[in-house]
């Protein structure tokens, strides 16, 4: 199996430290807001990685954190904690907000058929481990104290920029956006923060450095990753936005604490864009589960859409693309259902056996070449259209679905996904029929059928019957 390693900027042969176990750490959500579709793509791709490893007979020990404290609005440790700000704005407690959005996140993951990690660990439940790690880094001579916290001296890590691949001048340039005059270097970051005088925080703890204090964002991943996986980790996953700051700082902490680089392979997912533009609250293109389902789509259709793009390629989300993914997913389900209904199994010829072996080989080759899932999907459709018997198709595609995660083994009826605009057309047509405006109603029927739906008129009114 070959995977791209952000650290080396090369596709490498993957070799776990202690096979067949694979120790994998996943950067989890900061639970202060809804899980949006960009987050969903990241975790679906991480899930596909895990499934592909398991398909290759590895046993994956996956640890995923929940950031419920310490993530400041400024990634370089300026500004307020995201949980605290949301609590102030909503009037609810930071603890309740974290719990609510964590529950939502895992509900969304379940709807996307993302496997739950082996261990889920919350930052607020690992304060001791974080303090102990900061003390260790401090004892090793990598920290200094300012009026607002304990800071990491990045100048003491020789290859601090290795993961980002960016010259130190570029990182310094980014750091100047938020200036802390007490920093020795612009790229230095807070390991532990002190609650400012006169400020009342909901989440704060006593530490060796202050009676009222709280962790910085980056320290939690180093503390929890090494606690549950040790000081040698096979794979660390996350979004590309984490590379230059969060993961660069996490790597620096690991080196300062252990004397060596802890993570062997860094796996990063590339951004999702919406209609060709970056997601932005000002553009109102932050879509989450409610937006998907209100338009009549299920989250598994979104998962299918994500599978059509390579994890290291930017993906452009459009509602039209999601509709196409929903049609393809339902077609695949219909085929699986039809194959399941066919009884009996024919005797395989040598040619049949050769074709089956070829499809298996092509699928495995695709997923093992840096998770080329679009190519793996192409193999699935080639198989579906082939002359291989229905029972063999069913067996193979259900086997492949261990990686794809589309829940094709579920013997359920195909879920019809009807966009909101189609439902409105159905209602409009029904109203015209009540008024006796048959010609206008028929024009709307044609428009609905062009969109891929069929109208069935019953005594109780008009209903969408099925996709074409």
- Long-range Cβ pairs for the range 123-128 (8 Å, 24+): 123/65, 123/66, 123/67, 123/68, 123/69, 123/70, 123/215, 123/220, 123/224, 124/68, 124/69, 124/95, 124/98, 124/203, 126/220, 126/223, 126/224, 126/227, 127/205, 127/215
Q: Are residues 67 and 178 in the same domain?
A: yes
Q: How many CB atoms lie under 10 A from the CB of residue 264? A: 19
Q: Are residues 11 and 142 in the same domain?
A: yes
Q: List the structure tokens of 157.
A: 């890590």
Per-residue pLDDT averaged across 321-347, rounded?
Answer: 89
Q: Are residues 259 and 329 in the same domain?
A: no
Segments forming the whole domain that contains residue 359:
274-404
Has residue 468 got a pLDDT over 50? no
The answer as to whether 144 is a domain residue is: yes
The answer as to whether 250 is a domain residue is: yes
Q: List the structure tokens of 19.
A: 């096979």
The answer as to whether 460 is a domain residue is: yes
pLDDT for 277 equals: 84
Per-residue confidence band for 341, with pLDDT thresholds at 50, 70 and 90? confident
pLDDT for 13 equals: 98
pLDDT for 433 equals: 86
Looking up residue 379, the CATH number of its domain turns out to be 1.10.730.10
| Digit-coded pLDDT (tens) for 169-220 | 766 655 555 567 899 999 999 999 999 998 888 999 999 999 999 999 899 9
In this structure, the strands spanning 263-269 and 59-66 are unpaired
Q: How many CB atoms lie under 10 A from the CB of residue 201? A: 19
pLDDT for 467 equals: 46
pLDDT for 414 equals: 47
Looking up residue 85, the CATH number of its domain turns out to be 3.40.50.620
C-alpha dist (Å) from residue 357 to 286, 363, 364? 44, 10, 11
For 79, how many CA atoms within 13 A lie in the half-sphere containing its CB? 15
| Digit-coded pLDDT (tens) for 136-176 | 999 999 999 999 999 999 999 999 999 999 887 766 655 55
Residues paired with residue 461 on neighbouring β-strands, in sequence order: 458
Q: Are residues 162 and 254 in the same domain?
A: yes
Q: Are residues 163 and 306 in the same domain?
A: no
Alpha carbon distance 11, 311 (integer Å): 13
The residue among 269, 287, 302 that closes a domain is 269
The answer as to whether 299 is a domain residue is: yes
The answer as to whether 284 is a domain residue is: yes
Q: Are residues 243 and 297 in the same domain?
A: no
Has residue 344 got a pLDDT over 80? no
Q: Are residues 294 and 339 in the same domain?
A: yes
Has residue 49 got a pLDDT over 80? yes
| Listed residue (46, 5, 44, 1) closest to 20, CA to CA | 1
Alpha carbon distance 226, 249 (integer Å): 15
Q: Are residues 83 and 224 in the same domain?
A: yes
The answer as to whether 411 is a domain residue is: no
Task: Find out whether 379 and 410 touch, Cβ atoms under 8 Å.
Answer: no
Residues 6+ apart with CB under 8 A from 22: 16, 53, 58, 59, 60, 61, 234, 235
The residue among 244, 269, 294 that closes a domain is 269
Looking at 70-74, 100-104, 263-267, which range is the least confident one?
A: 70-74
- Triad 117, 122, 124: Cα angle to 5°: 175
| Digit-coded pLDDT (tens) for 293-322 | 998 899 999 999 999 999 999 999 999 999
The answer as to whether 105 is a domain residue is: yes
Sheet of 213-215: strand order equals: 143-146, 149-152, 189-194, 213-215
Per-residue confidence band for 278, with pLDDT thresholds at 50, 70 and 90? confident
Per-residue pLDDT averaged across 51-78, rounded?
Answer: 86
Per-residue pLDDT averaged across 44-67, rounded?
Answer: 98
- The total number of structural domains that make up the chain: 3
Q: Are residues 250 and 330 in the same domain?
A: no
């Amino acid at each position: 199996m070959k995977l791209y390693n952000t650290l080396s900027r090369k596709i490498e042969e993957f070799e776990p430290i202690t096979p067949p176990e694979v120790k994998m750490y996943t950067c989890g959500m900061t639970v202060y807001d809804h899980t949006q579709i960009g987050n969903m793509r990241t975790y679906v791709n991480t899930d596909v990685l895990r499934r592909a490893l398991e398909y290759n007979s590895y046993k994956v020990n996956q640890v995923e954190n929940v950031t419920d404290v310490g993530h400041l609005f400024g990634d370089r440790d300026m500004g307020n904690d995201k949980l605290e700000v949301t609590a102030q704005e909503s009037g609810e407690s930071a603890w309740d907000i974290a719990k609510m959005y964590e529950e939502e996140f895992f509900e969304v993951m379940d709807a996307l058929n993302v496997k739950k990690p082996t261990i889920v660990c919350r930052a607020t439940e690992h304060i001791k481990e974080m303090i102990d790690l900061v003390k260790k880094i401090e004892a090793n001579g990598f920290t200094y104290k300012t009026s607002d916290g304990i800071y990491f001296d990045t100048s003491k890590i020789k290859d601090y920029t290795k993961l980002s691949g960016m010259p130190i001048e570029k990182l310094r340039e980014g750091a100047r956006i938020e200036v802390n005059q007490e920093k020795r270097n612009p790229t230095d970051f807070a390991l532990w923060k002190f609650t400012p005088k006169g400020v009342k925080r909901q989440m704060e703890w006593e530490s060796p450095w202050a009676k009222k204090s709280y962790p910085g964002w980056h320290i939690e991943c180093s503390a929890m990753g090494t606690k549950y996986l040790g000081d040698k980790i096979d794979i660390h996953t996350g979004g590309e936005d984490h590379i230059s700051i969060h993961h660069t700082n996490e790597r620096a902490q690991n080196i300062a604490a252990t004397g060596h680089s802890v993570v062997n392979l860094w796996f990063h997912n590339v951004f999702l864009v919406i209609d060709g533009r970056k997601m932005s609250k000002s553009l109102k293109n932050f879509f989450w589960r409610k937006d998907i389902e209100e338009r009549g789509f299920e989250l598994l259709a979104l998962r299918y859409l994500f599978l059509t793009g390579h994890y290291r390629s930017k993906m452009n989300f459009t509602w039209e693309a999601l509709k196409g993914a929903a049609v393809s997913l339902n077609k695949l389900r219909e085929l699986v259902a039809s194959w399941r209904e066919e009884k009996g199994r024919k005797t395989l010829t040598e040619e049949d056996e050769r074709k089956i072996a070829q499809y298996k080989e092509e699928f495995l080759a695709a997923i093992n070449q840096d998770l080329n899932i679009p190519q793996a999907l192409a193999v699935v459709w080639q198989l579906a259209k082939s002359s291989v018997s229905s029972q063999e198709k069913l067996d193979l595609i259900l086997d492949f679905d261990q990686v794809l995660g589309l829940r094709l083994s579920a013997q359920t009826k195909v879920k019809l996904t009807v966009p909101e605009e189609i439902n409105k057309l159905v209602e409009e047509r029904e109203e015209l029929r009540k008024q006796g405006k048959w010609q206008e109603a028929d024009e709307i029927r044609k428009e609905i059928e062009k969109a891929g739906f069929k109208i069935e008129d019953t005594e109780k009114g008009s209903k969408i019957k099925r996709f074409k």
